[in-house]
Amino acid sequence: RQAASAVFLITRALASGTRLYIAAIVLVLGYEIMTGLQPSDSQELGISLVALVVLVALTAVYTAIGGIKAVVWTDVIQSVVMFSGLGFVIWHLVGTIPGGWPGFHTKLQQPADLSFWSLGPIATGGFFTQLKGILESEYTIWTAFFAATFVTMATHGTDQDMVQRMLTAKNPARSRLALVVSGLADIPIVMAFLSIGILLWVHYQYAPNPKLPQRNAYVFAYYILHELPVGFRGLLVAGIFATAMGSLSTALNALATSWVRDWYELWIAPRLRTPNSLRAARWATVAFSGILVLIGGATSWVVIANPSSRILPIVLGIFGYTYGSLLGIFLLGALTRSRGSDRGNLVAMASGFIAVAILAGLPSDLLRLAGLPPLPRPDWLPLIAFPWRITFGTLTTLSIGLLFHSKSRSPHAIPDV
């Protein structure tokens, strides 16, 4: 329990901190609009840090005071703002393309322009060469069906962010319904963002703009601040900040709750004369807020120092190193009665992390960041794409955990949340 909690706290803090950088992009471009000047790297980092501090401070206040109830209801309001903004952007983009939908299709007539299905790179070296190419590709049909399944199981089954929401339901039936609806709701959300990305590409094919940012992560924010009508421009900016604050408030509440339940109440409270879990949770919210600002600032520095960095693999790939270990232990306890032990689970979780780190090239990445040459890598070893990390972490953890024997457990030993 302590190991799993520590893994969650570290991973959730890293994942949520990196996501904050996305909201800071809007303020960086806003500075450029108001001053007419391109900010230097140091100015861009300073603007990002100010945005992070303000955003996290506002979110921490209502999270610490209102708890999970405030998180849920503010998320409802913020979701309405976000979906309204997405709908308007799609409508506006279609309206700016000459000919509307027919003009959109005209620009996508070439087969190489848009591919709905990809089986991965075509290799001529046999099955294992083809498999290596698939594992090194981020967006293929195999990723969508296999890797995404493990990602969804991890984020919807082992993440305190999701579990704390399901526990607010009146009964288990409603919790299950909320979980199913949440999974189904991901489909239109993903389709909306994919549509916006494709429409933006078509829009700038018809209307090339030499001032368009070189970084792909800045293009959407540039479009919002430069080409949308003034009123709707504010709606979209509010939608971006609402999305950031929604995920941030959930993360802060989950981090504080996990720390209080797994660490404060077990190790600190018994030594205090007047323990107060509520006060501890509020102080934990403040502490984790500071940690997330530091992580968000570090992300800004990395992206600014490495303009070729892609934000999506950073934001979505960072939890892939450890969530496989969490899911593997969860499946071990849920699917077996006499396998797994405290020592075995620790070994299995560590093995899962090490396996993913090696397959994802983490040691070489850290050496490059330190200005050192990367480690040599065998040609046969795949450098797996970020969507596959949880899959390999889960399978490794589960396989190692099965090697350890424990006393038989009752099938009702684990409550059915």
| Secondary structure in 3-state letters for 224-290 | HHHHCCHHHHHHHHHHHHHHHHHHHHHHHHHHHHHHHHHHHHHHHHHHCCCCCHHHHHHHHHHHHHH
Range of the domain at 230: 2-108+171-308
Q: Where are the alpha helices (DSSP H) in 120-213?
A: 127-135, 141-142, 148-157, 160-166, 172-206
- Report the pLDDT value the prediction gives residue 336, as an integer from 0 to 100: 85
What mean pLDDT do residues 240-267 have? 82
Q: Which residues pair with 15 in a beta bridge?
A: none
Total domain count for the chain? 1
Tracing tokens 């709701």 back to the chain, one arrives at 185
- Give the range among 8-17, 215-224, 347-356 with minimum mean pLDDT: 215-224
- 102 in any annotated domain: yes
pLDDT, one tens digit per residue, over 265-305 is 887 877 776 777 878 888 888 899 999 989 888 888 888 87
pLDDT in tens, 368-409: 877 888 888 888 888 999 999 999 999 999 999 999 887 655
- Determine which helix (DSSP H) or strand (DSSP E) holds 367, and give its type and residue range: helix 362-369
The answer as to whether 151 is a domain residue is: no
Look at residue 198 and tell me if it is in a domain.
yes
pLDDT at 197 over 60: yes
Reported pTM: 0.78
Residue 355 pLDDT grade (very low, low, confident, very high; cuts 50, 70, 90): very high
Does 235 reside within a domain? yes
Q: Model confidence at 417, in pLDDT bands (50, 70, 90)?
A: very low
Structure-model confidence comparison of residues 212 and 397, the more confident one: 397
Does residue 79 lie within any of the structural domains?
yes
Q: Is 134 left (phi over 0), alpha (psi -120 to 50) or beta?
A: alpha
Would 416 be classed as within a structural domain?
no
| CATH number of the domain residue 62 falls in | 1.20.1730.10
Residue 414: the pLDDT is: 46
Instruction: Answer yes or no: is 299 within a domain.
Output: yes
| Residue 283, domain member (yes or no) | yes
Q: In 10 A of CB 348, how many CB atoms?
A: 25
pLDDT at 353: 92
The structure tokens 């995404």 sit at 148
